[in-house]
Amino acid sequence: MTETVRLSLDDARALSLQALARAGLTSDHCEALADLVMAGQIDECHSHGLYRVLSCADAIRKGKVDTAAVPEIFDQAPGIVRVDAKFGFSPLAFRLGLPLLQEKARTQGVAALAINNCYHFSALWPEVERLAAAGLAALAMTPSHSWVAPAGGTKPVFGTNPIAFAWPRPGPYPFVFDFATSASARGEIELHRRAGKPIPEGWAIDKDGAPTTDPEAAMAGAMLTFGGHKGSALSAMVELMAGPLIGDLTSRASQIFDAGAGVTPCHGELLLAFDPNLLSGGHAAEHAERAEVLFDAIVGQGARLPSQRRYAARERSHANGSVEIPKSLHDDLLALLG
Amino acid sequence: MTETVRLSLDDARALSLQALARAGLTSDHCEALADLVMAGQIDECHSHGLYRVLSCADAIRKGKVDTAAVPEIFDQAPGIVRVDAKFGFSPLAFRLGLPLLQEKARTQGVAALAINNCYHFSALWPEVERLAAAGLAALAMTPSHSWVAPAGGTKPVFGTNPIAFAWPRPGPYPFVFDFATSASARGEIELHRRAGKPIPEGWAIDKDGAPTTDPEAAMAGAMLTFGGHKGSALSAMVELMAGPLIGDLTSRASQIFDAGAGVTPCHGELLLAFDPNLLSGGHAAEHAERAEVLFDAIVGQGARLPSQRRYAARERSHANGSVEIPKSLHDDLLALLG
């Protein structure tokens, strides 16, 4: 059993804030990052929880991230907000661009937020959830580093390229999904390697392009997309839409920019926000009920909605007023306070 | 071997037009449909080629489709065009809504075309290709009828729910994909049934929810999505975005509306158009080159871009100045003129 430490929500947030501040980030960045770290931890998405503070500090130590970057907002077009993150972490750029994105979606019907030159940090679900909380549907995507081979190929081109979507629902829990277009997360392969366990078939190929279940061979070869040529096509779409479309890097270009430092990818992110009332011709309430019928048909047959597990964790964390993290992580965070 | 008939492009188009007119469609509808039927046939997408004229005539015979529907265009919001297809076929509604969609994308940066109350007819790729030809990136989706079970479930909820995407490239061939979020097309299961062949594993479950390779059992049970829970999540997104978001039916609601007639689904379609110049902050040309580097990295390792096979067929058809269809289809088309 892993030894764990239970922290109150206030203490966990304070610890994150202190560690981030000690790493050199300005208070605006600290607040934006701590909110996301806490959202991840509360939902028991451990890789996006307090653990992220460590990789954040690592990226700063390697001299890649501008810890005092002040994102610049451009009202680029009636339907477009662009935020230049100026090579800082992405969450503050998102936070600063959000109000204008929402305003544009409500007046234009559909609007885009393009974040450029950001060190990507968070999962996408907290961002699309924010838009759903404002009554908007939302779609988000971002490239990463080129680790994933296209269908029919053997060499890495794509990133893990997540896509997230949110649909507003009555009550606190929107319909949300957020998944990598790769068959697995890169971190999952690394976890198998550390545990000395083979990876499932279909996750990766070795450097000669042969299917492999050996995590070492997979890391030296290429990951695969989920869903064969369809997943590969979607991954290409993420490259194009959250890369060249918004004037930013592909996963390959981002990896070249990284120059072997191995920090969190620097590139762009695209968020789209949709106003159900304008798009439905003013009949959003009636059609929201139609969406609920769809959800009932899924849940009613015993299938799960994508974020149900995460929402159950959230209820648990709030009921407990606390979160649990491995003692080793707690020690590492305390060490950052030095 | 299937006996075939070779028709010049002009003759094939004239035959389509005549058959559609004889089925009772007004000339505007005939033109819009014939263009799409020819695009499908020229690309050797046989199920979207001249074959479609038969299902079109069938839907009309069953009294479902308004053959003289005049689509009504609403300038719904600065970023939204809505077209009420008035229970006619979809292609004329798309054609009439397209100019305003393009204009809005060019001024707003991103714009949506919502087509409502249409009998869906075409593949989505000809539509997103049209937008790419105008220099825009495009994303399209539409529900169908509820034949597909959600991941973890056993009862049909989703349609085959295609997603199509296009990215403009130099030369005549944009990057385009168009695929069903179901593991297979419904027609493929039907073809296996007719041929007395088992279907591949992973396509369907029987009415008790057990995996099946028996096409009869599959038709009585439920199809599956591609890519497990990720494909299922995407299919739900298509239901929501091309259904309730735009004030139209889900696949389940569309099937109830069909009331057993078994005609092509009546529902909505969502198209999104993106202006690369506005979204990239005025640097579209530079970033278009970055996209070409991505395509080179895919093709350069021997992998295929999604529409390469279709484009090769197109070159062949134009070089021949003709298309080839089964003699039985030709006979059926001639019978419609009868």
A185: contact with B, CB 8 A cutoff: no
Nearest beta carbon to residue A79 from set B79, B175, B229: B79
- pLDDT value, residue B194: 87
Q: Report the pLDDT averaged over residues A52-63.
A: 93
B141-178 pLDDT, tens digit each: 999 999 999 999 999 999 999 999 999 999 999 999 99
Cα separations in angstroms, A184 against A159, A225, B182, B305? 11, 8, 21, 23
Catalytic residue among A127, A129, A145, A188: A188
For residues B109 and B25, state if they share a domain. Answer: no
pLDDT value, residue A108: 98
Q: Are residues A30 and A174 in the same domain?
A: no
- Total number of domains in chain B: 2
Helix runs in B242-307, H state only: 251-258, 276-279, 284-299
Q: pLDDT tier at A46 (50, 70, 90 boundaries)?
A: confident
Question: What is the per-residue pLDDT for B1?
Answer: 67
Q: What average pLDDT does chain B have?
A: 96
User: Residues A57-95, buried b or exposed e (16+ Cβ, 10 A)?
Assistant: bbbbeeebbbbebebeeeebbbbbbbbbbbebbbbbbbb
The 3-state DSSP class for residue A183 equals: coil
Measured CA to CA, the distance from residue A151 to residue B144 in angstroms comes to 27
Considering the domain architecture, whether residues A276 and A244 belong to the same structural domain is answered as yes
Residues B141, B240 within the same domain: yes
d(CA A238, CA A246): 11
Hey, are the CB atoms on A233 and B165 less than 8 Å from each other?
A: yes
Quickly tell me which residue has 């007023």 as its tokens. A321
Percent of chain B residues topping a pLDDT of 90: 92
Q: Which 3-state string (H, E, C) describes B69-95?
A: CCCEEEEEECCEEEEEEEEEEHHHHHH
Alpha carbon of B250 to those of B92, B100, B142, B181: distances in Å?
Answer: 22, 26, 9, 15
Q: Is residue A215 part of a domain?
A: no
Q: What is the largest CA-CA distance in chain A?
A: 58
Contact B90, B267 (CB under 8 A): no
Residue B32 has pLDDT above 70, yes or no: yes
> Is B201 annotated as catalytic?
no
- Phi/psi of residue A251, nearest 5 degrees: -60, -40
Q: Which of A109, A150, A272 sits opposite B303 (nearest CB)?
A: A150
**Which of B106, B128, B178, B279 to mutate to probe the A interface, most A CBs <10 Å?**
B279
Q: How confident is the model at residue A263 (pLDDT cuts 50, 70, 90)?
A: confident
B137·A245 Cβ contact <8 A: yes
Structural domain includes residue A211: no
Instruction: Classify the phi-psi angles of A302: left when phi > 0, otherwise alpha if psi is within -120 to 50, otherwise beta.
Output: left
B146 domain-assigned: yes
Where on the phi/psi map is residue A228: left (φ > 0), alpha (ψ -120 to 50), or beta?
A: left
Q: How many CA atoms lie within 13 A of A17 on its CB side?
A: 11
A193 is a domain residue: no
What average pLDDT does the segment A241-264 reach? Answer: 94
d(CA A248, CA A250): 7
pLDDT-derived band at B44, boundaries 50, 70, 90: very high
Portion of chain A with pLDDT greater than 70, in percent: 100
Asked if residue B163 and residue B32 are part of one domain, the reply reads no
Q: Which residues in chain A have their CB less than 8 angstroms from residue B274's CB?
A: 112, 241, 245
Considering the domain architecture, whether residues B85 and B177 belong to the same structural domain is answered as yes
Nearest CA among B231, B183, B306, B228 for reference residue A200: B228
- Quote the pLDDT of residue B181: 98
Residue B43's pLDDT is: 98
In a domain, A326, yes or no: yes
Residue A297: predicted pLDDT: 97
User: Quick check: A178 contacting B, CB < 8 Å?
Assistant: no
Q: Establish whether A188 is a catalytic residue.
A: yes
The mean pLDDT of B114-122, rounded to a whole number, is: 92
Rg of chain A's alpha carbons, rounded to an integer?
A: 20
Statement to judge: residues A42 and A160 lie in one domain = no
Those residues with Cβ within 8 angstroms of residue B282's Cβ, 6 or more apart along the chain or in another chain: none
Same domain, B114 and B78: yes
Domain assignment of residue A56, given as a range: 1-61+307-338
A171: helix, strand or coil: coil
Residue B256 lies in a domain: yes
Average pLDDT over residues A67-79: 98
Q: Is A47 in the B-facing interface, judged by CB distances under 8 Å? A: no
With a cut of 90, say whether residue B121 has pLDDT above it: no
Scan residues 206-225 of B and list those with Cβ closer than 8 Å to A: none
Report the pLDDT value the prediction gives residue A53, as an integer from 0 to 100: 96
Report the predicted TM-score, pTM, of the whole model to 2 decimal places: 0.97
pLDDT(A1) > 70: no
**Mean pLDDT of the A32-60 span:** 94
* Same-domain pairing of A248 and A296: yes
**A6 confidence band (pLDDT: 50, 70, 90):** very high
Q: Which of A186-200, A236-250, A267-281 has the lowest mean pLDDT?
A: A186-200
| Window from A80-89, A120-129, B172-181 with minimum mean pLDDT | A120-129
Residues of A in Cβ contact (< 8 Å) with B234: 163, 234
State residue B263's pLDDT score.
86
Residues A79 and A38 in one domain: no
Q: Give the C-alpha separation, A220 to A205, whole Å.
A: 9
pLDDT, tens digit (0-9, with 9 covering 90-100), for A317-335? 999 999 999 999 999 999 9
For B54-107, what is each residue's pLDDT tens digit?
A: 999 999 999 889 999 999 999 999 999 999 999 999 999 999 999 999 999 999
Residues 6+ positions from A307 with CB-CB distance below 8 Å: A125, A173, A175, A176, A177
Residue A34 falls within a domain, yes or no? yes
- With a cut of 90, say whether residue B206 has pLDDT above it: yes
CATH number at residue A157: 3.30.1370.60
Percent of chain A topping pLDDT 90: 92
Q: Are residues B314 and B173 in the same domain?
A: no
| Max CA distance (Å), chain B | 58
Whether A266 is covered by a domain: the verdict is yes
The tokens describing A285, both together, are: 């309430």
Task: Find residues 307-326 of chain B whose CB sits inside 8 Å of chain A.
Answer: none
According to DSSP, the residues that pair with B75 across neighbouring strands are B81
Which residues 142-171 of B have a C-beta within 8 angstroms of A?
Answer: 149-155, 157, 163, 165, 167
What gap in Å lies between CA B255 and CA B262, rounded to an integer?
Answer: 9
A183 close contact with B: CB closer than 8 A: no
Please tell me whether residues A166 and A263 are part of one structural domain: yes
